[in-house]
Structure formats: structure tokens, C-alpha cells
Chains A and B, each alone.
Chain A
Amino acid sequence: MAGTLTVATKELRDQFGSKRFMILFGLVLLLSTLSAYQGVDYIRNNENAGFVNIFSGTQMSFSFIQTMVYFGPLLGLALGFDAINKERATGTLSILLGQPIFRDSVINGKLIAGATALTTLVLGTIGIMSGVSIPMLGFGPTLTEMTKILALTLLTIVYLVFWLSLGILYSVLMKRTATSIMASIATWLTFSIIITILASVVASFLVPLPGGGFRPQVGSGGIRMSEEFIEAMQERNAVMSTINKISPTNLYSEAASDILGVAGGFMMGMGRQEFQRTLTLGEALAANWANIATIVVGLVICFAASYMIFLRSEIRPGD
């Protein structure tokens, strides 16, 4: 345990001292602060809106949750992708493992340090967002809202640590940091951008639209869609959301939106439609326990795999 703590302390100092962490933290802070301004604006103009809107955003604006959907994978992966293979490549691993420590201290220490750095990042961001918003609004979150924000914080940390442990897995699996950074970038793009494109392509392939599109029906006052068309669109939607389900980014955004209790729905073909759902924290957790559990299981699987591979790996001549 002493070894784990020593490794964690050293790694944490490395993380905080690294330009990599500063850049990512800066990026997230910038986006989040901007979204907080937008949130404040929205709250001022909407009577129903609550303090948590600065995190959930509104339909058209960029929010903290969206920042985490798009940049979360990057944050976690960036802090983990070279955890082990960099030490192997530079020749420090053999000196490190030549010390009287158990091998798991190394990988545990690195996970703890990465998780602590990410926790700092999340707490810092949420803290600064609140700090910017409260003076502008003139009021703070209610107690209920504070518990929601706390739950959001915890969820975000777990979600980021999931990406961290995937990054650590890459660093154990791949010998070269050049390979693991490419794998990380590919993963990031896949889950932040490509998956939605893929989902819509697959959906339109699986569910062809009926010919003719939507027919205006005379005498009903406005444009109506045919029953057939609506059905097809709903079917497509179902396919898309099933595909999206496999993406941790989507699992997170669903759960996070529900926790804040202010979510917008978006129906394909029916235009943007905002519907406020005001769920209590308990209801949100009940509705999203599967999402949250999936993220946690993913985290555990990635880390357990890295742990086992690393413990069985050997220092070979030339390492």
C-alpha cells in the first residue's frame, strides 16, 4: 500500500505539472464557462428554469453535459494512454519494478493519480461554473438542486474514469505510445462523432421510408404526415437509439440529463420539441440505473483487464 501511495503521489504531481493536463483543463473550463453564461441567459428569460440549467443547457446551446459527451473521452484517454508503455519505452519501468514494491502498486497508483486529476478537473469546472453564475443570477441552487449537482459530479467522475481506464488498457496492450495515441484518437472520434453518423446510416438502411414522403391532407389545417411515414420515422428512431445505446457517451448524456431533471426530447421528422421533464433525483437514478451500471461495469472491466495483463507481463531484455 505504501508503494501504491508513493506511485500515486508522484504520478499526480506529474499530471498536474504536465502541459497536457493544463491544456485539457483550460479547454473544458473555457467551454463550460461559456455554456454557463448561456445558461444564465436562459434562466433569466424562462420562469420555469432552475439553477441546474447552467449545467444542462437548453436546446440550442452548448452545455456542460455536451462538453463531457464530446471531450470526456479525450480527457480520460489522454491521461491514461501512455501510463505504462511510456515507462517501458523510456526504460524507467525496469528500474521502477526493480524496487521492493508489488507490481500492482504501479498500475493502482497510476489509476488513483489519473482519477484524482480528473476529479479535480470536474470539481474545478463545476465550482467555477457555479462561481460565475451565482453572482450573475443573484441566487444559488436550492438544496434539491445541490444534491442533483452532486450526483451529476459523481456520475461525470465515474464516466471520465471509465475513459481513463480504457486509456490505461491501451497503454498496457500496445507497446508503442504512437500506437496507443492513435487508438485513443480513433476511440474518441468513434464515440463522440462517428457513432451518431453510423447510427443514422444504419437506421435509414434498415428502415426504408415509404414512397411519397408525407402528404398534405386537405382540410385539416396545416401539414400532417401520413401514418405510414410517422411509423417509419419512429422505427428509425428506435434503431438509432439502440445503436447509440452502446456508446458510453450516450449512456452518460441520458443519465446526466435525467439527473438534472431538465431534458429536451428531440423527435426526428417532427421538428425540435422541447419538453421539460422534472424528475426527482430518485426517479432519475431509478430510470437510469442500467446506464450508470453499464459505465461502472465498463470501467471495472477495462481496469481489471489492464491489471491482469500488466501483472503477467514481463520485463524482457531490451525493455
Chain B
Amino acid sequence: MTENVIETYSLTKKYGDFTAVDELDMSVQEGEIYGFLGPNGAGKTTTILMLMGLSVPTTGTAMVAGYDIIESSREIRTVASILPEYSSLYGELTAFQNLDYIGRLNDIPKEAREDKIGEMLEIVGMSDWRDEKFEAFSRGMKQRVCIASALIKDPKLVFLDEPTLGLDPMGTKEVRELILRLNREKGMTVVLTSHLLNEVQLTCDRVSIINKGSLVVTETLENLHKQMTGVEERNVEFKLSDVPEGLIGNLEALEGVKQVAQEDDRLYVYAGIESDYNVSKTIVDHGAVILLMRPKEYSMEEIFMKYYEEV
């Protein structure tokens, strides 16, 4: 039984009449990479800010790493780190000076601090720019130094709010690999928000979809797929050498087949798993050759859209 690093209890945040987070109950397990998805303004950032004690909930509370977010937010910040959205470090300081400042604020003694900074710059691949000013860096380099700043304190838990925002594909890939590495090697729990669904798919163990301040669903990606497609029935794509006359009518007449759609040389057969044999046989009996057969995968985007529509 893994422990929960984060547990929220009816966490609510109102800005005037606007409810940004509405009675949110969620939990994040130790050691997992947790994807926090939702459209803009859904309440992801507000939730993260509350969990770090940077914003105070209107009602409800939460426990992070065993500390209450209202009573002991400073203690939370000793074990948890945040990489806030649109955040930045001090432009007039060098990469080293910036990290040194963050290290001091975390009360890391001088020698340990210098070792740690060296290690972190190495991890994010910025060792060669140690003494360059932060303001001279490109967007991607800045983000890497910011990530290093979040890792200086050796956190058990990191909140990464849109860590790949504004990065090019290479930068995005590097950050993604870094997240996976930290999670595997250091057992760091990661809570990640992102709009890049592909990225979420490649990194996260579980995802939550939040909309208008409420949790719509929390699942492993696998289960999300299952929920989308249904275990018993699914859409199967066939690419055929040709589509003989009468084939579609005969397929539709088969037991278990719900729907058949044609798109040029492709057929999409929505049927139960047990019908695969009969469907394939019928096609071959009509004299066509099956060039390709595959169950249609739902992309993250489709899953995402489905849950957004539900709300």
C-alpha cells in the first residue's frame, strides 16, 4: 500500500464570486507522476498554489507530505518544490548566483550548497553556462535553470506547472526525460500540469482531469482508454486491397457488429472482440485481401475532449 503524499479535503478557493477550485478531493500517491489536466482557467494552478501555501483556501484544507497546508505551509516548502507557471529567476544574477540564493534560502550550508549547485547544473545540462547572466539565456535554458532551482532542496515532491511551456520540441523532450529520470532514480513524486497531451501520455502514471474547479476523473491512462473504448466493443480499422460489392451489407448482418463505415479503401467496423474472426473471414470470403487490421486507438486529445464535453 503506497502512501498518499497529497490529500485534499473539499479544497475550495473563491476569488470574489468566481469559484476557481470547488470542493476538490484528490490524492496523489508517493512516487508517482501525476498529470493534472484541464482547460485554461480550470483551477490547476490555483490548486497547486494552495498546496504550496502560496495561496490560502477559502474553505477546506489539504495535507501535503504530512503537513497541513494552512498550519504548516513553511514545513511543506522544505520538502516540496514548485516550478510556477511563467516563473523566472533574477536576470541580473548568473545561473550560479541564482541557485546559490535559492540554496541559502533553504539553509543549505555553504559547501553542500556548492556541490549541490554543481550537481543540479550538470543534471539540467547547464554546467557550461554557470557564470553567465540569467537574462542572457534562451527560453529553454532559463527553464532548465528554473528546474534546477526547484531541485536544489532535494524535494520529495515537485509541482511542475507547465514545465515545457514555450520550449521547442528538443527542449520539451529533454524536460520530459529529466522528469522521468528524477522520478525513477530519486523516487521523486511529480505533479505535472500540461497542455501537451502527448507529453502527459509519455510521462504520467495517473491523470486527473479538472474542469471548472472540480475533478472530472482520476485514472491511470490505461483505464482511461478502457473507459473510452469499452472493454467489450471497439472500433477496428481494416485496410483492404479493394472493397467488393455487398461486403458492407454482409458485415453489418454479422452477429456482434454494430456499425460499419467506409472511407476509400478503409473500413471501420465497430464490433465486439469476439466478432474479429467472423469479420476477417467474411472479408476474405469476398475475395479481398486484408492489408492492415488494427483497433483504433483513442488519442489523448479525444479522451480529453470527451471529458471536457461531459462537464
A101/B84 contact (C-beta < 8 A), A14-B92, A17-B92, A314-B54 known:
no
**Chain B, 42-86, CB within 8 A of any chain A CB:** 45-46, 49, 52, 54-56, 74-75, 77-78, 81-86
A318 to B153, CA, bound (A): 24
- Proximity bits, A81-94, B CB within 8 Å = 1, else 0: 00000000011101
* Contact between chains at A2 and B107 (CB < 8 Å): yes
* Contact between chains at B92 and A94 (CB < 8 Å): no
* Contact between chains at B85 and A100 (CB < 8 Å): no
Q: Which residue of B lies closest to A95 (CB)?
A: B87
* Contact between chains at A318 and B88 (CB < 8 Å): no
Smallest CB–CB gap between A310 and chain B, Å? 13
Residues in B whose Cβ lies below 8 Å from that of A94: 49, 54, 82, 84, 87
Size category of the binding interface on chain A = 20 to 34
**Chain B, 105-151, CB within 8 A of any chain A CB:** 105-107, 146, 149-150
Q: Does chain B have a CB within 8 A of A3?
A: yes
Smallest CB–CB gap between B111 and chain A, Å? 17
* Contact between chains at A318 and B85 (CB < 8 Å): yes
* Contact between chains at B49 and A317 (CB < 8 Å): yes
Q: Which residue of B lies closest to A87 (CB)?
A: B90
Smallest CB–CB gap between A17 and chain B, Å? 7
A92/B89 contact (C-beta < 8 A), A2-B107, A101-B105 known:
yes
A316 to B161, CA, bound (A): 13
Residues in B whose Cβ lies below 8 Å from that of A318: 45, 85-86
How many chain B residues touch A (Cβ–Cβ < 8 Å)? Answer: 35
A17 to B85, CA, bound (A): 29
Residues in B whose Cβ lies below 8 Å from that of A97: 54
**Chain B, 10-33, CB within 8 A of any chain A CB:** 15, 20
* Contact between chains at B75 and A100 (CB < 8 Å): yes
Smallest CB–CB gap between B72 and chain A, Å? 11
Residues in A whose Cβ lies below 8 Å from that of B54: 94, 97-98, 314-315
Q: Does chain B have a CB within 8 A of A273?
A: no
* Central interface residue in A7, A90, A100, A315, by most chain B CB within 10 Å: A100
Q: Does chain B have a CB within 8 A of A136?
A: no
Smallest CB–CB gap between A92 and chain B, Å? 6
* Contact between chains at B102 and A95 (CB < 8 Å): yes
Q: Does chain A have a CB within 8 A of B296?
A: no
Residues in A whose Cβ lies below 8 Å from that of B45: 317-318
Residues in A whose Cβ lies below 8 Å from that of B89: 92, 95
* Contact between chains at A91 and B87 (CB < 8 Å): yes
Q: Does chain A have a CB within 8 A of B104?
A: yes
Smallest CB–CB gap between B211 and chain A, Å? 15
Q: Does chain B have a CB within 8 A of A99?
A: yes
* Contact between chains at B88 and A98 (CB < 8 Å): no
Q: Does chain B have a CB within 8 A of A96?
A: yes
Q: List 13 additional A-B contacts (Cβ < 8 Å) besides A92-B89, A98-B77.
A: A3-B105, A7-B105, A92-B88, A95-B88, A95-B89, A98-B150, A99-B105, A100-B106, A100-B153, A316-B55, A317-B85, A318-B45, A318-B85
- A–B Cβ pairs within 8 angstroms, 28 of them: A2-B107, A10-B101, A10-B104, A92-B89, A94-B49, A94-B87, A95-B87, A95-B102, A98-B52, A98-B77, A98-B150, A99-B105, A100-B105, A100-B106, A100-B107, A314-B49, A314-B56, A315-B54, A315-B55, A315-B84, A316-B15, A316-B55, A317-B46, A317-B49, A317-B85, A318-B85, A318-B86, A319-B86
